[in-house]
């Protein structure tokens, strides 16, 4: 008699043990194992939309700017987690801050503000500006 391998899978239902080969077991006749159901998402947060990446931003049309907070009225081009790039969408900060991955939006805003401040102060040479543009295109 051939030795059976031991399964350490704790998620396996108790009825699918390897003992016995009677007809009442899930294996049934022929010794083939019954198909186990596919596992659903264990964590419901995995099914929510989550920001994977911010690809760009633009000024929202028909919305007056908020004094002191230019990002409040801007829209962000967002790549969503688990979705292809064809599903990217433009969304405002107020909408995105309710979703997972909002830290990526904050980091994007910080990066753009830092780059704009460096440009305005004249700290960036022409070569550095060109390198930044190339890096942005490569992302």
pLDDT at 97: 93
* 42 assigned to some structural domain: no
User: Distance (Å, rounded) from C-alpha 76 to C-alpha 92?
Assistant: 6
* 96 assigned to some structural domain: yes
* 38 assigned to some structural domain: no
* 1 assigned to some structural domain: no
In what order do the strands lie in the sheet containing 74-80?
Answer: 51-59, 74-80, 89-92
Q: How many domains does the chain have?
A: 1
* 22 assigned to some structural domain: no
SS3 helix, strand, coil % of the chain, rounded to 5?
35, 15, 50
Question: What is the domain extent for residue 58?
Answer: 49-138
Full-model pTM: 0.62
* 29 assigned to some structural domain: no
* 91 assigned to some structural domain: yes
- pLDDT tens figures, 72-128: 999 999 999 999 999 999 999 999 999 999 999 999 999 999 989 988 888 888 898
Give the CATH number for residue 79.
2.40.50.40
* 14 assigned to some structural domain: no
């Amino acid at each position: 008699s051939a030795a059976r391998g031991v399964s350490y899978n704790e998620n396996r239902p108790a009825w699918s043990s390897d003992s016995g080969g009677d007809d009442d077991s899930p294996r049934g006749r022929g010794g083939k194992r019954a198909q186990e159901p596919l596992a659903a998402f264990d964590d419901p947060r995995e099914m929510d939309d989550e920001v994977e990446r911010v690809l760009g931003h633009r000024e929202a049309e028909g919305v007056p700017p908020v004094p002191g907070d230019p990002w409040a009225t801007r829209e962000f081009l967002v790549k969503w987690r688990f979705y292809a790039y064809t599903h990217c969408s433009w969304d405002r900060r107020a909408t995105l801050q309710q979703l997972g991955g909002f830290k990526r939006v904050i980091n994007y805003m910080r990066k753009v503000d830092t780059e704009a401040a460096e440009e305005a102060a004249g700290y960036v040479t022409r070569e550095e500006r060109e390198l930044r543009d190339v890096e942005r295109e490569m992302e």
